[in-house]
Structure 1
Amino acid sequence: MNVFTLRRKARGFTLIELMITVAVIAILAAVAIPSYSEHVRKSRRAQAKADLVELAQQLERFHTVQNTYSGMSLPFTESPRDGKSYYTLSLSGAATSSAFTLQAVPGTGQDKDKCGTLTLDQAGRKTPTEAKVAGCW
């Protein structure tokens, strides 16, 4: 072996090797990024569901004392309560003496969520139902 051959092998990566590496990284990113995004939407949705259940419990406590759902204002209207809001929580219509419907409307960053607006009423009925969209509740 001469000096020229040793020097040529020690120079670095070839263009083909670099392009193969870039292609492998691109394929991994194409699979990983959508999966990660869906996981983030799912965790935000779980927080909104927990907040809806908490508000329903507070409405039930109010009903126990006042014998009506009307007249109670929601203690918080965003989910999550701290940081950037991804869902707006509210009563859908006015609460009556015997009924209420809470809703969580997706906002910016959550607008691509497959479940859309989540609702929960005094009887524990939830929408969207499992029959219409799987995995929402």
Structure 2
Amino acid sequence: MNKRSGFTLIELLIAIAIVGVLAATAYPSYREHIRKGNRAAAQAFILEIAQRQQQHFINSRAYATTLTALGFPADVLSAFPGSTSVANDVAPFYTIGSTDLGASNGPPPSFLLRLQPVVESVQLGDGTLCMTNAGARTRNCQTGGATEAW
């Protein structure tokens, strides 16, 4: 009797089916993990801007309208203080919602920071991240739907 070593076609098909089922269940979870990581980087960035806005307000009695006025480099995407990089963690997925940083200097002074998801990124369904000078942090603040705190 000749014995052949190796796998039969049925065994290979079963192994491929098992790998396919595992990949189909793991991939959505992986994408959600990536989305949460990108959101956390954006939240850290918006908190940094808000903190600098408050310091700028204490110093000059007005909120800044540009990132350079807050001490960020002219090309904020090339360098960011701290351990994160805006160029890698935030810029591909979010854009700043308004060119004046949402600052309104008259009476009372206020700001509304918005980070909007980039249209063709994994963050698209995540909603706009917003933060006010009072510290209110919400998501979906611009879509007209129900807002939720972050």
What band does the TM-score fall into relative to the shorter chain?
0.7 to 0.9
Are 1:73 and 2:58 matched, yes or no? no
Structure 1 residues 41-88: Cα deviation after superposition (integer angstroms, max 9, x where no partner): 11000000010000000100100000111x441133799512362111
Query: CA 1:133 to 1:14, structure 2 compared with 1: closer, same or farther past 3 Å?
Result: farther
C-alpha RMSD of the superposition: 2.5
TM-score normalised by L of structure 2: 0.72
Q: What is the match of residue 62 of structure 1?
A: 56
Q: What is the match of residue 81 of structure 2?
A: none
1:106-121 aligned within 5 A:
106-107=117-118, 108-113=120-125, 115-121=126-132
TM-score normalised by L of structure 1: 0.78
Q: SS state of the match for residue 115, structure 2?
A: strand
Runs of 4+ in 1 over 6 A off after TM superposition: none
Are 1:36 and 2:30 matched, yes or no? yes
Identity of aligned residues (%): 33
Deviation larger for 76-85 or 36-45:
76-85
> Partners of 2:122 and 2:18 in 1: how far apart?
30
Select the structure of larger CA radius of gyration.
1
For the 8 Å contact 1:59–1:72, the answer to whether it is kept is no
Number of aligned residues? 126
